[in-house]
Structure 1
Amino acid sequence: MLLRRITQHVQSQNWFAVFLDFIIVVVGVFIGIQVSNWNETRHAEQEAGLFRANLIADLQNDRDVYALRKKFYLEVKQAITGVDNILHNDLPDSLALQWDFIRDVDKAGGMWPFQPSAQVYNQLLNAGKLDLVSDDAVLRQMRDYYQDAALEAGLTFKFDSVFRDHSRSLLDWQLTDYIISDCNVIGADPSDILDDNQNYYTTCPVPDLASNILQTAAKIHTEKNLINELNLLFSQSVRILSFIEYFDDQAESLIQELERQ
């Protein structure tokens, strides 16, 4: 209809009307483009908000996991200290204390690998949509968290624990079976930890295997090579706890940055 009107105005040489029709067409096209751009921008902002919410949920879950890992490795470190103390001193006479010693030997070799949950990050990276999430500074921080630091954590857990293999080879098989079947640890779900004072490793009563305990404790205590192996394990536990603190700080910082967007 507009085209027919323009044609009529041209035929009648009504140039002013032609000019007005031209302005109407230009303005209409401009408004259409602006509305389209606005819709695209709005969609991109909504999409970015959803991406940020998913990343924040991932990061918060990571922090819950780190809290559990920290509790686990603090107990491992405490067990290492307890074993080291007995290896440098006389073996206790008490059956209960010797059982605690054996339990600490088992705990000291505990290992629980971890790394950031990168599912959402990798999806955005592969889809080329990370730029929607935040600015360059935050994207660099995310890359360090999800790629560089995670790679370092992976290398950390390739550590071959000589103490773990050596000490567990000295454990009586019946005691090992009892530990596995009756001395369960709390599950991997962070909600299983009910309060800060709860231990990851649950209390395990002394089994009715007195002679096995006495013989195994004495055998471990005479293995002096375990001291050097334990020193290396202690250094490793300190390094792992440092990694956990670093990851948790990075996750907290990223959550704060993403919430500001």
Structure 2
Amino acid sequence: MILKRLRGEAARQNWFGVAVDLVILILGVFLGIQVNDWNQARLDRAEGHEYRERLYSDLESNQRDLAFRIHYDGQTLAHAQAALAALDRPVTDNPGAFIIHAYEASNHVPQAIRHVTYDEVVASGKAEFLGSRVVRERIANYHVGMATMQRLFDYTPPYRDAIRSALPFAAQSQVMKDCPEVLAADEYGSVTPRLADDCKSTMDARAAERFAAEVRTIPNLRWLLNRQVADLDQKIGNARQLSAEAERLKRQIRKAS
């Protein structure tokens, strides 16, 4: 319509009318672009807010996972320390308890920490939607740290293979009956194993003594157990550190929102 009027005004050599129509045309295009930009900026802000909310939810999930790991590895560490201390006593000194401690000290959590939202943001190239440069850097650094921690959490010292190879399966099966590991699901559907808080050996005393003697023949058993203790202690410390960083990041995300 505007172009038709422009042609008409130009044909009549009404240059003032041509100028007015040009101004109207340019202004219309400019306003259209501005409205589109404003609308896109609004959508980007809304998408950024949604990403931050999802990241906040992931961080809470991380903290629940880390709290579980701290408790689980703490129980495993206590068993490892008890087994290590038992090596300084005669094999006849409560061999059933030694078998339980030696076996339970080999437990491991093969579970990944959640980072679905951050992976999606990076894959879609929308990291700038997350907030200021400081917020983006803090989020990125947290996930770099998480990836490093995951490698630590995934590592299993050689003690696990050593004890589960040397201890006869009959003894392992009896420990699992005396100290059942329970799978528990929380309200969010996350399933985690739980070790028995307290268990007593029902193994025959003679059999337990025989099995305990076999375990003590594992080469460098004391060194392997000592390494297991150190690994578990490090995992617990790093899990606490990562959980504290998740809490700090949650506060920063809340400020950004």
Q: TM-score range by the shorter chain?
A: 0.7 to 0.9
Aligned position for 1:216: 211
TM-score (norm 1): 0.81
Residue 183 (structure 2) pairs with residue 187 (structure 1): yes
Give runs of aligned pairs for residues 233-248 of structure 1, distance below 5 A.
Answer: 233-248=228-243
Q: CA deviation at 1:36?
A: 0.6
Residue 45 (structure 2) pairs with residue 45 (structure 1): yes
Aligned position for 1:34: 34
Task: Indicate conservation of the 8 Å contact 1:69/1:244, yes or no.
Answer: yes
TM-score (norm 2): 0.82
Compared with structure 1, are the counterparts of its residues 211 and 30 closer, same or farther at alpha carbon in structure 2 (3 Å cutoff)? same
Task: Indicate conservation of the 8 Å contact 1:71/1:200, yes or no.
Answer: no
Residue 19 (structure 2) pairs with residue 19 (structure 1): yes
Unaligned runs of 5+ in 1: 193-198
Q: CA deviation at 1:180?
A: 3.2
Partner Cα distance (1:249, 1:257) in 2? 13
> What is the identity percentage for the equivalent residue pairs of Structure 1 and Structure 2?
24
Aligned position for 1:232: 227
Partner Cα distance (1:188, 1:3) in 2? 71
Q: CA deviation at 1:10?
A: 4.0
Partner Cα distance (1:159, 1:205) in 2? 26
The equivalent position to 2:195 in structure 1, one of 156, 176, 200, is 200
RMSD value over aligned CA atoms? 2.9
Task: Indicate conservation of the 8 Å contact 2:51/2:130, yes or no.
Answer: yes
Residue 117 (structure 2) pairs with residue 102 (structure 1): no
- Residue deviations 1:109-143, cap 9 Å, x none? 11114443222222221221122112333333333
Unaligned runs of 5+ in 2: 189-193
Compared with structure 1, are the counterparts of its residues 207 and 159 closer, same or farther at alpha carbon in structure 2 (3 Å cutoff)? closer
Aligned position for 2:254: 259
- Match of 1:240, as an amino acid? K
Task: Indicate conservation of the 8 Å contact 2:80/2:101, yes or no.
Answer: yes
- Match of 1:210, as an amino acid? A
Compared with structure 1, are the counterparts of its residues 182 and 85 closer, same or farther at alpha carbon in structure 2 (3 Å cutoff)? closer
Corresponding pairs, count: 251
2:34 aligned counterpart, secondary structure: helix
- Residue deviations 1:187-227, cap 9 Å, x none? 264569xxxxxx73344343253322232234445768322
Q: CA deviation at 1:249?
A: 2.1
Aligned position for 1:178: 174
Partner Cα distance (1:191, 1:182) in 2? 28
Compared with structure 1, are the counterparts of its residues 107 and 191 closer, same or farther at alpha carbon in structure 2 (3 Å cutoff)? farther
- Match of 1:154, as an amino acid? R
Q: CA deviation at 1:40?
A: 0.8
Aligned position for 1:196: none
Give runs of aligned pairs for residues 128-207 of structure 1, distance below 5 A.
Answer: 128-147=125-144, 149-151=146-148, 153-154=150-151, 157-161=154-158, 163-181=159-177, 183-187=179-183, 189-190=185-186, 200-207=195-202
Compared with structure 1, are the counterparts of its residues 250 and 46 closer, same or farther at alpha carbon in structure 2 (3 Å cutoff)? same
1:187 aligned counterpart, secondary structure: strand
Partner Cα distance (2:56, 2:119) in 1? 14
Compared with structure 1, are the counterparts of its residues 164 and 223 closer, same or farther at alpha carbon in structure 2 (3 Å cutoff)? same
